[in-house]
Chain A
Amino acid sequence: MNGSEDLIARTRSGDQEAFRLVFERYSRPVLGFIFEMVSQRDIAEELTQETFVRAYHNLKHLRDDSKFSTWLFGIGRNVAHEWLRSRRRENLTCTQDIDSIQQEHTGTIDSPMARLLGNELNLAMETALQALDEEKRVVFFLKVLQQRSYQEIAEITGFSLAKVKTELHRARLEMRRRLRLYLEMK
């Protein structure tokens, strides 16, 4: 049996192979989530590793194994926030304007997402996402691209349910406005 809850129980009892399976299952969405926050692939990978290391060490504090995924994303969010804060202290924030993102996606600069996303719509989507402020981007990503419930998003982000709904609504409006041309074509 390799259900998440079973894997978590096995990990808790020291089975590292079980944790590897947990990693296989969740590393992709966690990496995607952290990438949305930090916008740099190599940093997102390091932070994803940090997230799983912390999760492993703190598994004993997880009360409800069925909420592992939400708990893990919460750790990922904290890890990414800590990194963002440390960057801000160095006055080297990773917030990018649209021009710089577009420049990245032209392929002249090291652009991890450009390697992953191929066509114009991908680029437009990523540009529009990056143009959202962090709270909207995270909520939008978790709801639309990760299919999380409002309640789960609230638990991951620490926002109230009302704030989740508001941010999601505003994010959708902004995305619609930015991608209007593409959406109309479809």
Chain B
Amino acid sequence: MRCDDCQLIIEGYFDGELKESTALRVRRHLDGCPSCSRLLQNLTAEHAVYVASRSEILIRPDLWSGVRSRLTSEQQPEPLGALERPQTWLSSAFVLPRISGLTAVALVIVAVGMTMLLMRYLDRSLGDRRLTSVSESAPKAASAMPEGQAVPEPEPLVAGPRRSPEAKQNTGTKTTNESIVAGSKLKRPSRRFETIGKTKTPEQLVREAEQKYLTAIAMLSRTVERKRARLDLATLTKLEQALASIDRTIADTRKAVRQHPDDPVAVQFMLTAYAKKVDVLREMVDY
């Protein structure tokens, strides 16, 4: 074998990809050729550097829980995927009519309305839970208080009609038992839930709000896309940086919502991130 021939297949030899007979011929050539042997040594040394310089990528423990929850949720129809399949985006791009910015704004308003409704409910739900926990701990707290001293009234967690100072004064001497009763009166999450959406679960509401935002974002993005050519480089760079940053936030918050679907704070953060993206895109549309 000549050096030229050897050098053509020496990588295959190093990778163990040659037929045994060819590999044998290369080996014999290498035994008697310092120049080609050096080539092989270099390949080996390079390989060692490449392998050594790569740290093992770390797997976050929650990665599996994300897969598991998706496997579970995707058994139901219309899953809330972490990642909309590109086919879906593609099909929606064809299905959705090209509509004006006004329609997009209307959609945003609907989405914001739904978000507020949802947030109001989630806040109430959270407030009720807190009140419940307060009422549960109240007897213990009361037992630690000196006799005759009133238990401080918890700050209202839900916006509502405030009581007059007189009324507060009157209630200022209420006993612990009355506080517990008040707490139990507020503890009606299921009824409130029913009044907000008779057939919709919070998850569905979140999904719908998210869908509205995504639709608005898709439409605004197309408008921005058409304007892109008219934007100067600096503005374009700023826009892309802002959108990339928001996209990261959206991805993070969606992950958090998937992991803690009952956490209203996580939902709030996620919807706020969507709203932020809509704001940025709207600014660009009006630019």
Q: Which residue numbers of A lie inside 8 Å of B, CB to CB?
A: 16, 20, 23-24, 27-28, 31-32, 35, 42-43, 45-50, 52-53, 56-57, 82-83, 85-86, 89-92, 110, 116-118, 121-122, 124-125, 143-145, 149-150, 165, 168-169, 172, 175-176, 179, 182-183, 186
Contact partner of A31 (CB less than 8 A), chosen from B54, B55, B57, is: B57
A117-B55 contact given A42-B248, A90-B221, A92-B243, CB 8 Å threshold: yes
Stretch at the interface among B28-36, B61-69, B156-164, B170-178: B61-69
Contact partner of B64 (CB less than 8 A), chosen from A20, A42, A89, A91, is: A20
Q: Which residues of B contact A183 (CB under 8 A)?
A: 42, 45-46, 49
The answer to whether the Cβ of B244 comes within 8 Å of any Cβ in the partner chain is: yes
0/1 interface trace, chain B 108-120, chain A, CB 8 Å (1 if under): 0000000000000
Judging by beta carbons under 8 Å apart, are B57 and A175 in contact?
no
The answer to whether the Cβ of B12 comes within 8 Å of any Cβ in the partner chain is: yes
CA distance A39 to B252 in the complex (A): 17
Judging by beta carbons under 8 Å apart, are B228 and A23 in contact?
no
Judging by beta carbons under 8 Å apart, are B82 and A49 in contact?
yes
Judging by beta carbons under 8 Å apart, are A27 and B59 in contact?
yes
Chain B residue at minimum C-beta to C-beta distance from A44: B57
What is the distance, in angstroms, from B84's C-beta to the closest C-beta of chain A? 9
Residue picked from A86, A143, A169, most chain B C-beta under 10 Å: A86
What is the distance, in angstroms, from A93's C-beta to the closest C-beta of chain B? 10
Judging by beta carbons under 8 Å apart, are B86 and A45 in contact?
no
The answer to whether the Cβ of B262 comes within 8 Å of any Cβ in the partner chain is: no
Question: How many pairs of residues, A versus B, come closer than 8 Å at their CB atoms?
Answer: 110
CA distance A141 to B74 in the complex (A): 32
A92-B55 contact given A50-B83, A83-B83, CB 8 Å threshold: no
Interface residues of chain B: helix, strand, loop or mixed (majority): helix
The answer to whether the Cβ of B5 comes within 8 Å of any Cβ in the partner chain is: no
What is the distance, in angstroms, from B200's C-beta to the closest C-beta of chain A? 26
160-214 of chain B: CB within 8 A of chain A: none
What is the distance, in angstroms, from B277's C-beta to the closest C-beta of chain A? 12
A23-B64 contact given A49-B82, A50-B83, CB 8 Å threshold: yes
CA distance A50 to B79 in the complex (A): 13
Residue picked from B87, B89, B93, B228, most chain A C-beta under 10 Å: B89
CA distance A161 to B275 in the complex (A): 48
Q: Which residues of A contact B87 (CB under 8 A)?
A: 82
Q: Which residues of B contact A35 (CB under 8 A)?
A: 57
A82-B67 contact given A42-B251, A125-B50, A125-B53, CB 8 Å threshold: no
What is the distance, in angstroms, from B69's C-beta to the closest C-beta of chain A? 10
CA distance A45 to B82 in the complex (A): 11
Judging by beta carbons under 8 Å apart, are A28 and B59 in contact?
yes
CA distance A24 to B67 in the complex (A): 12
Contact partner of A91 (CB less than 8 A), chosen from B56, B89, B225, is: B225
What is the distance, in angstroms, from A169's C-beta to the closest C-beta of chain B? 6
11 A-B interface contacts by CB (under 8 A): A20-B68, A28-B57, A42-B251, A46-B83, A49-B63, A50-B83, A82-B87, A116-B58, A118-B55, A121-B49, A182-B49
Judging by beta carbons under 8 Å apart, are A179 and B248 in contact?
no
Judging by beta carbons under 8 Å apart, are B50 and A175 in contact?
yes
The answer to whether the Cβ of B70 comes within 8 Å of any Cβ in the partner chain is: yes
CA distance A102 to B87 in the complex (A): 34
215-240 of chain B: CB within 8 A of chain A: 221, 225, 228, 240
Q: Which residues of B contact A122 (CB under 8 A)?
A: 53-55
Contact partner of B51 (CB less than 8 A), chosen from A48, A89, A144, A165, is: A144
Contact partner of A92 (CB less than 8 A), chosen from B45, B63, B82, B240, is: B240
Judging by beta carbons under 8 Å apart, are A91 and B228 in contact?
yes
Q: What would 9 more interface pairs be, CB under 8 Å, given A50-B82, A90-B225?
A: A27-B59, A46-B83, A53-B70, A124-B53, A125-B54, A145-B50, A172-B11, A172-B46, A186-B49
Ordered nearest first, which 3 A-B pairs have the shortest CB separation? A125-B53, A82-B86, A86-B86
